[in-house]
Structure 1
């Protein structure tokens, strides 16, 4: 189902409200950030968690929940559910990659086993992930009219852009590298991932030349995956709390 951001901004607290100002500041920081490696993605995930914690506080403001219509509440719930789905898709992909990496690490440690077969399995899984991520990204349509976006809509757009970047890192996809509509929407001139190396692509290159592959390389990538999983778990918890606050309005 396509993501929709057509929520009337005049139904929410003024952008001069202290909590709204705080959210705007967080959005500005997220829009100006670059995510070229798993470590910067982890930091962005942490910033996204802070953003949704702030949105949750805004939802609980009486000035907000008294103004929300049934339709607007449903749109907020729909948007938060889509982001939770993106968290689940990312976690499933990371979990699969980690399983293969653990087997490769075991073969390298014991110095016996079919390393070529496992490496091919890993590289094949990357291609599969790329196709599946591209399909997910195509299903996400962002409203191109910036004037129709309030802080909630902008938060959703920035969050989707982050996941496009995360998908690009994990799959090595160049198609997701430019933040597409979200970049244009937010008038950003900085383009993340443009030919920049990250832990996934570095190890991917070494996998293509098995002789240069070391157990330390696999361990570094496995550690990066674990950090991303931890970040996604924390973000998911904030999203669930956010959804509960929206439901409490009903």
Structure 2
């Protein structure tokens, strides 16, 4: 069902504004893209950037100024700040992993340094980050139970919910499959587990498997993961910039 931008106000026209209709169309497209892969997540980050650019334009309309109360603006500011915090958590985590991968690639290229120690350091960092992702996911679910259902905020509220859902997918994607995360233990009992997990593995878990085994390390997979991380960092950075512009327009109302 399409989302409409309405308020309980006689001054607000019953006919939907073209900019609000455009936002509705963007929300519909975003709701239909739920797959979790590096390419799909990057595309959704790009689509979310476009969505927040459109919301920012909607906020600049005089008609929107008349529709939103001070309390409602405060709620939108709080929501956008929460999403910016998620952006920072994701960017910091990706940056940390990328630094570890660069160190490992440097050792592989120059044949200098303790590769085993650097791999263990990377895996320890991954273990810590996975715990922080689980903490963030738990926090996101708690916040979702408090979603605002104010009719006048329905468009903005759904945009926030879809953005939060994207970060849920992102953190889960970066953590990897829970079943495959325990592959090193299970594989000792069932050789089929390795094949199953490798088939389901994404860029992050594939490199985790190789680092854990230490015998199947493929430079190509490390480079693919590094490229994946760079794409995600770029997408999150662009979304952050759009969110900041969106917040500025809120503050200007």
TM-score (norm 1): 0.82
Shifted more, 43-52 versus 62-71: the winner is 62-71
1:7-26 matches, within 5 Å, as 10=7, 16-26=16-26
> CA, structure 1 residues 102+145, in 2 after alignment: closer, same or farther (shift >3 Å)?
closer
Q: Count how many residue pairs are aligned between Structure 1 and Structure 2.
A: 223
Please state whether the residue corresponding to 1:212 is helix, strand or coil: coil
Q: Which residue of 2 aligns with 1:190?
A: none
Deviation at 1:36, TM superposition (A): 2.2
Q: Which residue of 2 aligns with 1:129?
A: 129
Matched-pair contact (CA < 8 Å) for 2:73–2:250: yes
> Cα RMSD between the aligned structures?
2.3
> CA–CA distance in 1 between the matches of 2:109 and 2:249?
49
> CA, structure 1 residues 97+172, in 2 after alignment: closer, same or farther (shift >3 Å)?
same
Matched-pair contact (CA < 8 Å) for 2:30–2:47: yes
Deviation at 1:40, TM superposition (A): 1.5
Please state whether the residue corresponding to 1:43 is helix, strand or coil: helix
> CA, structure 1 residues 14+81, in 2 after alignment: closer, same or farther (shift >3 Å)?
farther
Q: Which residue of 2 aligns with 1:4?
A: none
> CA–CA distance in 2 between the matches of 1:144 and 1:241?
25
Q: Which residue of 1 aligns with 2:103?
A: 103
> CA–CA distance in 1 between the matches of 2:96 and 2:14?
44
Q: Which residue of 2 aligns with 1:93?
A: 93
Q: Work out which of the residue numbers 203, 209, 214 in structure 2 matches 1:205.
A: 209
> CA–CA distance in 1 between the matches of 2:147 and 2:230?
37
Matched-pair contact (CA < 8 Å) for 2:176–2:205: yes
Shifted more, 85-94 versus 11-20: the winner is 11-20
> CA–CA distance in 1 between the matches of 2:178 and 2:31?
20
> CA, structure 1 residues 174+76, in 2 after alignment: closer, same or farther (shift >3 Å)?
farther
Q: Which residue of 1 aligns with 2:27?
A: 27
> CA–CA distance in 2 between the matches of 1:240 and 1:84?
8
> CA–CA distance in 2 between the matches of 1:200 and 1:145?
31
In the alignment, structure 1 residue 216 sits paired with structure 2 residue 241: no
Q: Which residue of 2 aligns with 1:118?
A: 118
CA offset digits 1:200-243 (Å, max 9, x no partner): 12222222222211222111111111111111111111001000
In structure 2, runs of 5+ residues without a counterpart are 180-198
1:162-181 matches, within 5 Å, as 162-172=166-176, 174=178
Structure with the larger helix share: 2
Matched-pair contact (CA < 8 Å) for 2:101–2:226: yes
In structure 1, runs of 5+ residues without a counterpart are 1-7, 176-194
> CA–CA distance in 2 between the matches of 1:163 and 1:108?
33
In the alignment, structure 1 residue 234 sits paired with structure 2 residue 238: yes
> CA–CA distance in 1 between the matches of 2:62 and 2:170?
35
Matched-pair contact (CA < 8 Å) for 2:7–2:67: no
> CA–CA distance in 2 between the matches of 1:160 and 1:15?
29
